[in-house]
Chains A and B, each alone.
Chain A
């Protein structure tokens, strides 16, 4: 410990000066704790990385608390403990996320090649082949679902916030939107399947039916997020537009929406990201095919999650190429969602109100 350290005894009760640990103390303590843990576990013959990390961190927390309360006083010791716990749990929360992305990236990059994006699975057994049919399927079905849900969802939210005036209709819409948010996705899929079976004959499996199922899942999310964003717009802005003699619909269109558009777009991207990975409802509505089908109103369509699911559940022989394609499909899906997020952020940044 350095000589700069003062103890609480030196600092009198009224003094503004308190003891301070040097900046490197936490790191040093961490190293020492890990070292002690490694030594102890080694001597009893239970050495493993996990055990050393866990017991080392526990030792570190206890050690820092003791050290800090001795030098800096109990208040700062508690503060340090709380901060270390927060950082620790943050790191714990990151572990699954990072290991998931790293795992998918490593295993998926094996087959993430030109062939993967230029071949479908038509007449492919074993090696080779690709998922172009599934990429198209995902983009078309999610695209249609977005085109259907975004206008419906946004206009409902505008009605709720700007015109509903919290009347009976507005309250019941809010209630049903809440109920719809909780619908299990397979129920939405069965609903769409039933509707399309009644309309177009039993067993109809088309991309459009899949898009309908996804819309059922997407609309409530879009309504809720748009509603939240519109409510954030200060009433003063609406009133000052009215005071200029601007009609209500134009106030909504030219003042309220531009002010909240960044948040609304973020909400839409999240809604898309929520449904793009849906498997169950698409299994029953859009079906499975190994060929490329870009016609959403005729014939089954495979999406990436369904492709991944079937590649893993019913692999051919040999199994390895099927597994590799499944991982590449998963990686593609993550990349699409990340791309959407980036686009959303760019758009949001472009439209966000600026003050300078």
Chain B
């Protein structure tokens, strides 16, 4: 179910702007990896490069390799749509499709990919995905209500349910809790712990406590200076990064003495 991600000499550009420089990392299957670092240092950009969402932006491109179980995602023969079916993504702002009900939102990935699915299978998939996202009990009586009528935290768990309904190998989360209250955040963090058993999870977060709580491995990104490309400074087991980092800039960031 889950796959290993490796990046080799990954350079990411927005047109002429060199956003991220020379990232080499390995993300193990069935683990939670947190990306931390100050704003604008390229965490989200690297994350988006892992399922070829980066190139959706006008003029954006990538150099280097991203290997998913040894297959280079940026090989000319690779179809980005197929990549995204295996590497799911959850965004910062919850964005259920406004024209669809809760149930249709969960099934969106399957239905929009034109897969034939029987009514019974669909019901089972909706239930298992919503249970997987810790949302089933709250919405089971109103599955046909619009998805955009839920609270922000519920919407975020709904889009997580939508992401796991297509049974990806990897789930990327781009600051999934930054718009949520502490209780919804807790629900999403609990969920990440459950997802770890089945999927490779990568999460970008600005909240260092959250990184410490949920992740097995932490990667710290930083800018050398304003206008220079972002870099991967250090990557290692979360407890080591937070207690005894090798780089001084990592320690400065974690203890709040950056700049």
Same complex for A and B? Answer yes
Report A's interface with B, CB cutoff 8 A: 165-166, 234, 236-247, 250-251, 254-255, 258-259, 351, 353-356
Verify A246–B112 contact, CB threshold 8 A: yes
Minimum CB–CB distance from A51 to chain B (whole Å) comes to: 55
Verify B99–A258 contact, CB threshold 8 A: yes
A250 with B99: in contact, given A244-B84, A245-B85, A245-B166 (CB under 8 Å)? no
Given the complex of chains A and B, what is the CA–CA distance between A254 and B112 in angstroms?
7
In the complex, chain A residues whose CB is within 8 Å of the CB of B31: none
Which A residue sits closest to B109, measured CB to CB? A244
Verify A255–B112 contact, CB threshold 8 A: yes
In the complex, chain A residues whose CB is within 8 Å of the CB of B114: 250
A353 with B148: in contact, given A243-B51, A259-B98 (CB under 8 Å)? yes
Please pick, from A234, A236, A242, the residue contacting B84 in the complex, using a CB distance under 8 A.
Answer: A242
Chain A binding surface, main DSSP class = helix
In the complex, chain B residues whose CB is within 8 Å of the CB of A241: 97, 108, 112
Minimum CB–CB distance from B178 to chain A (whole Å) comes to: 14
Minimum CB–CB distance from B13 to chain A (whole Å) comes to: 16
Minimum CB–CB distance from A239 to chain B (whole Å) comes to: 6
- CB of B257 within 8 Å of the partner chain: no
Verify A243–B146 contact, CB threshold 8 A: no
In the complex, chain B residues whose CB is within 8 Å of the CB of A166: 58
Minimum CB–CB distance from B85 to chain A (whole Å) comes to: 3
Verify B93–A236 contact, CB threshold 8 A: yes
Query: How many residues in B have their beta carbons less than 8 Å from beta carbons of A?
Result: 32
- CB of B176 within 8 Å of the partner chain: no
Verify A354–B146 contact, CB threshold 8 A: yes
Given the complex of chains A and B, what is the CA–CA distance between A2 and B35 in angstroms?
69
In the complex, chain A residues whose CB is within 8 Å of the CB of B116: none
- CB of B113 within 8 Å of the partner chain: yes
Which B residue sits closest to A351, measured CB to CB? B99
In the complex, chain B residues whose CB is within 8 Å of the CB of A242: 53, 56, 81, 84
Given the complex of chains A and B, what is the CA–CA distance between A166 and B145 in angstroms?
38
A244 with B112: in contact, given A236-B91, A239-B56, A354-B146 (CB under 8 Å)? yes
Given the complex of chains A and B, what is the CA–CA distance between A136 and B82 in angstroms?
52
A244 with B166: in contact, given A255-B112, A355-B149 (CB under 8 Å)? yes
In the complex, chain B residues whose CB is within 8 Å of the CB of A254: 111-112
In the complex, chain A residues whose CB is within 8 Å of the CB of B83: 245
**Can you identify 9 A-B contacts, CB atoms within 8 angstroms?**
A236-B91, A244-B85, A244-B108, A244-B113, A244-B166, A246-B112, A354-B149, A355-B149, A356-B149
A353 with B98: in contact, given A243-B84, A245-B81 (CB under 8 Å)? yes
A353 with B99: in contact, given A239-B56, A239-B91, A244-B84 (CB under 8 Å)? yes
- CB of B89 within 8 Å of the partner chain: yes
